[in-house]
Chain A
């Protein structure tokens, strides 16, 4: 951490979305590898947060980094989010590239002034003279009975506030490339990983959380959606764990002759509006699947993108989101509000019925 302004090296030579190869990792290991590889050659990068050190991140986002880089560059912090996020902002302003973990997205409430009045606005308020090249990493999502204060997604809340990029990967390949892009970005990036895509043994593990990842460094550009599956009857625009569920549903319905296209947004800010319009222009039917709260958020924004472009494109439109209630602790109630494969399947059947 003593090395400062000159420590950062740009890397124009990095591959952009290279072939995945054969070597497989979980999403959590892919994130660890991205951080580790960048720390190896850029002394301005360091990691800070609650339990990022010997514990390795409570969802394994930083496992092994303390052993490799030591406590100067991998710092456990007290439970004082305002203080350590402020510390990260200060370090970023002075030329370092901090990766700060908030742990649960739900904890944003106690430190939102630092996040959206400082991290997100310093570049603007300085007339573009001061940059904040910081990654704010956090875990999101439910499905494992952790209650209303530990199960939210909230990416739509961060995306609503100007000044932050908001990145939400669904798989190991994208997680590594987007993390590398996030560290390289001169703007503050909120990097939200759903616990259910990390490939952890103690959570319900979808096989899509394990996948081929190149061993070398590469970037996945922030702001570019991915066609996770091509189809012609209906477009599911979604992100994060809901991509896994949507692909599972699409595979199931293929045998019935229903062709589902799945768009993985990969980031909310910037939002790949062209990819949304391109897909709906083809299918005419749009379903937005989002594990965030339904109202005033991403799902409405996606539909507005199409409506503003050409409302006549939309033969059918619907949303599969969390209705506007806190996430219940009771398993049966929690699964009643989550965007489960059953709810997605029902929405697809409804869309293609007309």
Chain B
């Protein structure tokens, strides 16, 4: 099982962001080329791709505020 973390986008200590969009649902098959999410910190967007292939489980809802580096999904 591998973790998907909220990307580090800001140099500020404890910066938070949101998941703008999940492009997959829990139970979907993903690969490292699957766009799984768009996230934002201070209105700057970034795309998230998983490191490994497998079945994804989403752990955070869209629009919920989360810290950078926080666990947002797992691939098993």
Contact = CB atoms under 8 A, between A and B. Distances in A.
Given A201-B40, A201-B45, A202-B43, A25 B20 contact: no
A201 B45 CA distance: 9
Nearest to B18: A201
B59 interface: no
Interface in B9-50: 18, 20-21, 23-24, 28, 34-35, 38, 40, 43, 45
Contact of B23 (A200, A201, A210): A210
Given A25-B35, A26-B38, A201-B38, A210 B43 contact: no
Interface residues of A, number: 13
Contacts of A24: 23-24, 35
A284 to B, nearest CB: 40
Nearest to B23: A24
B47 to A, nearest CB: 9
Interface string A18-46: 00001111100100000000000000000
B21 A199 contact: yes
Contacts of A23: 23, 34-35
Most buried by A among B21, B28, B45: B21
Interface of A: 22-26, 29, 60, 199-202, 205, 210
Given A200-B20, A201-B18, A201-B40, 10 more contacts: A23-B23, A23-B34, A24-B24, A24-B35, A26-B38, A199-B21, A201-B45, A202-B40, A205-B20, A210-B21
